[in-house]
Structure 1
Amino acid sequence: MSDQLMMSRRGALLAAAISFASTCLPAQALAAAVGRAPVPLPSAAQIRRDYQQMVDFGPRLPGNANHLKFVEWMAQEFQAAGLLLGPCESYAYRRWEPRKWGVEVVDGGRRHAISNVAYFVRSDPTAAEGVSGPLVYGGRLGPKGPENLPDIPAGAILVFDAELPRMALRHIVQPHFIHVRGETDSAVLDTPYHRLWTMPSFQLDALAARGVAGVAIIMDVSSAMIAGNFSPHASPYKPKVPALFVGQDAGAELRMAAQAGKAGHLTLDAAWVDGMVPQLTAILPGESDEVMIVDSHTDGQNFIEENGSITLLQLARHFAGLPAGQRLRRSIVFAGWPGHMSGTMPEAPGWARAHPDLMKRAAAAFTIEHLGASEWLDVPGKGYAATGHNEYMNWPATAGPLNDLVIDGIKRHDLLRHAVQKGPGFTTGTVFHDSGIPHVACISGPSYLLSIVPGGHMDKLDADLAARQTNMIAEMIKAADRIPVSDLKGSDSSLGAKPVTGADTSVRMACSRRA
C-alpha cells in the first residue's frame, strides 16, 4: 500500500469516527440513547461482578493474549452502550514474557525450592533447564549495585540483601487537604511508606562481566508480599544477568545456604515477543464542540491494575443511558490507552499525540486508577494481612473549581485517607494538566498493586469503597459539564506549563465490531 493511500485511509478513519461524533446535530447525538433503559451507577455488588469479569481474562500484560481479548471486549461493551468507536490505534512493542522461574538450594544431591519467588522483569533469561552453581553471599545490594563484592567463582549464583526505600507520604505527595476521622493527618502522612512498586532498578550489569550465572535478591518484606510481583513500569532497564526476588522469611534459608557454601539452582525461562498493542477511544456525542476526556490504561496484573478501565465502561453505560433532559452537554471521550506496564510505551502522552483535535477541544480531563483498595502490609504478629484501613488515595487536581469539587466529593462520600494535591501531581494523566486541560486524577498504591496471583487479589477489594469512589467521579464529571471552560482553568499558573510534544507513533486500524 502506498504512503499516500495509507494516509488517505487513516484520514478517512479519523473523519468517520471522531469528526462525526463532534459535529453531528444534537438530535443525532442523542439518537444512540433512544429506547435505552437508564443505567444506574454501580452498587458494591455490581462493582465486584464487573471487576471479577476483568480478572477472569487473566493478567493483561501489554500485548499478551489476555490483554488483546480484554481490549476487544471493552470495544464491544462501548458499542453496546451506544458509543462511537475509534479510530483505534496500536503500538509496536517487544514484550518480555516469563515462562518458568525459581531458585533452589542443592543439598546432598536434593533440591529444595524457595517459596514465592518473583522475577526481575526484563532480566536476561537462563536456558529452560536453568543454571546450577555455588551460592555466594554478596552482602548488601544498593540501587547502583553491590556495595562490597567478595571474590566470585565462575558460574556463581549471588545472593544479596536489599531494602525497599521508605519515605513519609507527606514527602511524596504533599497534599493540601486530607480527610481523616478518629486519627490525625500526621498518623497517615508521616508514617514511613514502602510498597513494592517503589522498588529501585538495582544495577546488575557489571556482574555479567564477572561471570555470574544468576542473582537472587532478598528484599526486606515477607514472601507473601513479594509473591507474583511484576514490576516493570518504573524503568526500562534490562539486567544482563538472570535475577529473581525473594522475601525476607524464605530468603533467610537461601542466605544461610550461601554462607555455608552450598550450591544452588536458578531458573528464569523467558522470551522476547514482538507484537502490536491496541489503544481504544470511545465517544459519547453531546451538543457542544467541547469534550471531556475520561482516561485510564487497559493493561494490568490483577483487580487493582487496572480497574479504572472498568470504571470507564461503567460511566459510559450510565451517561449513555441518561434521558434527554439529563444528558451531558459536552461530548465525553473515553480513552483506554495501553503500556503502563511496559516502561517504554508512550502511555497517555501517546494518546494525546494521536488525538490533537480532541486535546484542543477538551474542557476537562479525568484520569482514574486503582479504586477500592484495602491496605495490606506486613503486620507484626499477624504476617501479611489487612490493616483495617483503606489504602491512601491521592487526588491531584488543577486549582480552581475542580479542586473544590474533589474536596466536596471526598467529604460528601466520607472517603477516609483521601487527600487532594495541587496538580499536576503524581499520576499517569499529568499530560492533560501539563497541556493546559483542567484535570483531576485519583491513584492509590497498595502493596499488591503489581503482583500476579491466582484470583487477582479479589479478596483485597473493598467494593463499597470502589462504589463510593465511582459515584464521586460521576458527580464531578456532571458538575464540571456545567462549568464554563474559562472558569475551569481558573488561575493555576502551572496549567499548560509543559504541552505535549513529539510525533504520533501509533498505527491506525479498523476497530473491532460486535458481530
Structure 2
Amino acid sequence: MLATNATSTPAQVHSGPARPVDADRFLSVEALTRWQQALDDRGLRATGSPAHADYIGDLARRLSAVGVPDVALEAVPMRRWSARHWGLRLESTDTAVAVVSPVAYSGRTDADGVTGPLSSEPRAGSIGVVNVAPPAFTAGDFDALDYGSSAPATTEPVYAPDQRYERVWLAHDFMRTELTRFTAAGAAGLIMVIDLPEEELGGGYLLYDGVHRAIPALFVGRESGSLLREAAFWGREATLTLVADVAQVDTHNIVGIIPGASDELVVLQSHTDGSNGLEDNGCEAILGMAHYLAGLPRQELPRSVLVLLSTGHFATAQAWGLEAFLERHRGDMVPRIAAALCLEHLGALVSPPGHSDHVPGVTYEFGACFATPHPAVVNGMRSALIRAQVTEPRVLRPFVPHPSGTSPDGTTWPGDGGPFWHTAGLPAANFITGPGYLLNVEPVMDRIDVAALRRQAIAFTEAVLELAAVPWQELRGEAPRAPGRPCEGV
C-alpha cells in the first residue's frame, strides 16, 4: 500500500545542478514505438468503458514492472454514458445522412428515434441544426501569455505572429451553450455541424464534459451540414436516433511512489482515457521516465516521485480524476507535494499535407508548457523545451478564469493538470499540444514522432530531477512572484 505521513515536516532540500539523464540508459525508440503502437491500436478509451478499464489494468501492471513499488488503484465513482447505436434520416427523401459521431453524454432515444422539423432556431419539438466554426486564435495570442520574450520568432523560420490556430476543441464552450439553448426550448434533438470536411474529423469524440443532458445530439461534417441546412430552409423533417446506456460504475486512478531521499514529492501525471494514440500518450512517456527514475540510487533522487495516472478527463469539463485524488489525499500526500508536472500529447506532428491545419515547412505541432508563477518551475520548463528540440519553447501563464475561487490567482489553464493550481495551489506545469486530429477516433500513429517523444521524455525527466532539488521554501514557502513581463492576455 501507499506510504503516507501527514505529520512529517518537509525537509530542506538543497538546490544544485540536476544529474543529466544518461540517454543510453533511457528506454529505446524501438521500445517506446511498441508501446505507442499498442496504445494507438486500442482506439477510443471512453472514461469508465471496458476498453478504458483494460488500459488502466495494463498500465498498473507495467508501472510495477518498470520498478515502481506499491502501485495502487483508487476507485472514482461515475455515471457512465455509452452510445450503442445512432443515425440520422431525412424523412422527405428517406435519405440516410452521414454522421461523424454522437455527442457524448447527450440525451437518448428509443430504437425508433425522434422525428421533427429541422430548424436553425430553438423550437419545441424541432431537430435543431447549428453550425460550429472553430474559433480563431493566432500564434501572437499565445506569445502574449509567455512569461518571457517570444523565442519562436528566432527558432521557427516560418513563424509569424498572425499564424492562425483553429481547433475544434476550442469550440467546446459554444457547443455547451447551444445544447443548453435548444434543451431549454424543448427541441427534440440537435445536430451540430462541424465546419470541416468529414474525413478530417475521423469519427471524433468532440465534446466530453460528462454533463448528462436531456437532448439527443449528433455531430456531422461540412458536407452533411450543407444538406441539412437546405432541408431546414424548406422545413423538412428528420429522424434522429441515439440509443445509449447509462450505468453507475467505478473507474480508477493509478498511484505509485518511487522512493527518493526524502518523503517530499514531485508528481508526474497524465490521464488514461482518450480518443487515440496521441490523446493521451503522456502515460506511455511517464512509464519510460519512471523506468529511468526507479533505476537511480535513492540518494540521487532528492525527493520521491509520485506517479499519478488519472481517470476522468473524457467525462468532465474539468479533470475530476485528479480532483478526486487531491480531495482524497489532501491530508496526507498533498501537503508533501513540492511541485507537479502533467504531460499530454507528446511527439505530435502537424496534420498531413492537404489537411486544413497543415503549415508547409513545419514538422511538429504547436506546443507549450503552462506553468504557475514560480521562477523555478518556469525556468525549468523553458530549459526542458529547449533541450527537447521539438516544440517552441513557450512557457505560458494560466489565463482561463476559474469560478471556484480557490485558485491562488483566480485562473487555470486548458489542460488536465489544471487542478494542481486551481484546486490545491501547488507549483505545477502542464506540457500540452492540441492538433486538429487530437479527438479523432482513428489511428494516428503516422502523426507521432516517437524519437521526438523520447527526447521530450528525457528532457522532462531532467526537469523532474531539477524540481526535486529546488529548496522547499522556493516552491511552497512564500507567495510566488511571476517572472518576466506582465501578462497581456488573450
TM-score by length of 1: 0.77
Alignment check: 8 A CA contact 2:147 2:396 kept: yes
Give 1:54 deviation, angstroms.
2.1
Which residue of 1 is the match for residue 127 of structure 2? 157
Give 1:385 deviation, angstroms.
6.6
Give 1:84 deviation, angstroms.
2.0
Superposed CA offset, 1:256-288 (max 9, x none)? 344355543322121212100111101111221
Q: How does 1:128-167 map to 2 (within 5 A)?
A: 128-134=111-117, 136-138=118-120, 146=121, 156-167=126-137
Which residue of 2 is the match for residue 10 of structure 1? none
Which residue of 2 is the match for residue 8 of structure 1? none
Q: Quick check: 1:121 aligned with 2:93?
A: no
Give 1:362 deviation, angstroms.
1.8
Q: Quick check: 1:175 aligned with 2:181?
A: no
Which residue of 2 is the match for residue 314 of structure 1? 288
- Distance in 2, matches of 1:160 and 1:469, equals 40
Q: Quick check: 1:286 aligned with 2:257?
A: no
- Distance in 2, matches of 1:189 and 1:129, equals 51
Give 1:186 deviation, angstroms.
10
- Distance in 1, matches of 2:389 and 2:92, equals 56
Alignment check: 8 A CA contact 1:283 1:331 kept: yes
- Distance in 1, matches of 2:184 and 2:2, equals 53
Q: Quick check: 1:78 aligned with 2:48?
A: no
Quick one: which of 467, 473, 486 aligns to 1:486? 473
Alignment check: 8 A CA contact 2:128 2:182 kept: no
Quick one: which of 392, 396, 419 aligns to 1:431? 419
Q: Quick check: 1:60 aligned with 2:45?
A: yes
Which residue of 1 is the match for residue 328 of structure 2? 354
Q: CA RMSD in A?
A: 3.2
Q: Quick check: 1:197 aligned with 2:169?
A: yes
- Distance in 1, matches of 2:104 and 2:481, equals 35
Q: Quick check: 1:458 aligned with 2:452?
A: no
Superposed CA offset, 1:67-110 (max 9, x none)? 111111111112222322355311111111111223233555x4
Higher strand content, 1 or 2: 1
Distance 1:384 1:184, change over 3 A: closer
- Distance in 2, matches of 1:342 and 1:286, equals 34
Distance 1:386 1:162, change over 3 A: closer
Larger radius of gyration: 1
1:441 counterpart SS class: strand
Which residue of 1 is the match for residue 31 of structure 2? 46
Which residue of 1 is the match for residue 86 of structure 2? 101
Which residue of 1 is the match for residue 2 of structure 2? 17
Alignment check: 8 A CA contact 2:85 2:242 kept: yes
Which residue of 2 is the match for residue 470 of structure 1? 457
Give 1:442 deviation, angstroms.
0.5
Identity among equivalent pairs (%): 27
| Residue range with higher mean Cα deviation, 180-189 or 41-50 | 180-189
Which residue of 2 is the match for residue 364 of structure 1? 339
Which residue of 1 is the match for residue 238 of structure 2? 264
Q: Quick check: 1:442 aligned with 2:431?
A: yes
1:88 counterpart SS class: strand
Distance 1:68 1:181, change over 3 A: same
Which residue of 2 is the match for residue 251 of structure 1? 225
| Residue range with higher mean Cα deviation, 482-491 or 332-341 | 482-491
Which residue of 2 is the match for residue 297 of structure 1? 271
- Distance in 1, matches of 2:415 and 2:116, equals 43
Structure 1 outlier segments of 4+, above 6 Å: 181-186
- Distance in 2, matches of 1:448 and 1:298, equals 18
Task: Structure 1: give runs of 5+ residues left out of the alignment.
Answer: 1-15, 24-37, 139-145, 496-515
TM-score by length of 2: 0.80
Which residue of 1 is the match for residue 192 of structure 2? 217
Superposed CA offset, 1:25-56 (max 9, x none)? xxxxxxxxxxxxx9832344333221222233
Give 1:19 deviation, angstroms.
3.8
Distance 1:211 1:366, change over 3 A: closer
- Distance in 1, matches of 2:69 and 2:277, equals 27
Q: Quick check: 1:404 aligned with 2:379?
A: yes
Which residue of 2 is the match for residue 31 of structure 1? none
Give 1:294 deviation, angstroms.
0.9
Which residue of 2 is the match for residue 230 of structure 1? 205
Give 1:371 deviation, angstroms.
0.8
1:312 counterpart SS class: helix
Which residue of 2 is the match for residue 275 of structure 1? 249
Alignment check: 8 A CA contact 1:179 1:415 kept: no
Alignment check: 8 A CA contact 2:273 2:280 kept: yes
2:240 counterpart SS class: strand
